[in-house]
């Protein structure tokens, strides 16, 4: 039996080929540790409102992974528009807003969380120091074997916490 883990990520048809390759690296690590990837649009399909389904799914999971893939890019814009703190910005990337919602639910459920992000993704759960969770660089097809070994060590520590949660009385 595999331990269920909630994965916050866009559905495969919303990922570029390189992003799908990154998701596959994470998926293979889950399989190696006998964990089950649970996500709306991948393993589960909603029969109710999507947010209700996410809440229901997370109740039955023992950990979570947030995959911060770029889903929208603004070539120019302004943060805090109209305020005294307005700031121009160029080439800003945003993940799916579901990452923020699902991370908050996982955090409030007290589950062990791992967070990965692509370069350029920032803010909210992806902001350094916004939670006690360390933000990891998204692995990709160019990631060295040494970096993948390092990631495996981090995964082992996270898995130990997931395993403890799953088998807790």
Read off the tokens for 90. 């160029």
CA distances from 142 to 22, 39, 52, 114 (A): 10, 26, 37, 21
Q: Which residues pair with 89 in a beta bridge?
A: 77
> What pLDDT shows up at residue 97?
96
How does 78-109 read in b/e, with b if 16+ C-beta sit within 10 Å?
Answer: eeeeeeeeeeeeeebbbbbebbbbbbebbbeb
Integer Cα distance of 26 and 87 in angstroms:
35
Tens-binned pLDDT, residue by residue, of the chain (169 aa): 899 999 999 999 999 999 999 999 999 999 999 999 998 866 656 667 888 889 999 999 999 999 999 999 999 999 999 999 999 999 999 999 999 999 999 999 999 999 999 999 999 999 887 777 889 999 999 999 999 999 999 999 999 999 999 998 6
- Supply the pLDDT for residue 130: 77
Strands (E), 50-112: 64-68, 72-79, 87-94
Domains of the chain (ranges; CATH) run 3-167 (3.40.50.2300)
Q: Where are the alpha helices (DSSP H) in 33-96?
A: 50-59
What span, in angstroms and rounded, lies between the C-alpha atoms of 72 and 81? Answer: 19
**Residue carrying structure tokens 């540790």:** 33
């Amino acid at each position: 039996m595999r331990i269920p883990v909630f994965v916050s990520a866009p559905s495969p048809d919303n990922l570029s080929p390189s992003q799908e390759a990154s998701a596959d690296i994470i998926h293979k690590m889950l399989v190696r540790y006998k964990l089950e990837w649970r996500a709306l649009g991948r393993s589960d399909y909603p029969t109710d409102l999507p947010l209700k389904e996410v809440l229901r799914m997370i109740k039955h999971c023992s950990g979570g992974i947030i995959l911060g893939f770029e889903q929208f890019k603004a070539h120019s814009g302004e943060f805090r528009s109209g305020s005294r703190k307005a700031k121009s910005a160029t080439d800003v990337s945003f993940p799916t807003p579901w990452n923020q919602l699902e991370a908050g639910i996982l955090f409030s459920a007290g589950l062990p969380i791992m967070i990965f992000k692509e370069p350029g993704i920032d803010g909210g759960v992806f902001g350094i120091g916004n939670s006690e969770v360390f933000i990891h660089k998204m692995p990709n097809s160019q990631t060295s074997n040494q970096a993948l070994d390092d990631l495996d060590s981090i995964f082992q520590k996270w898995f130990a916490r997931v395993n403890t949660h799953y088998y807790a009385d």
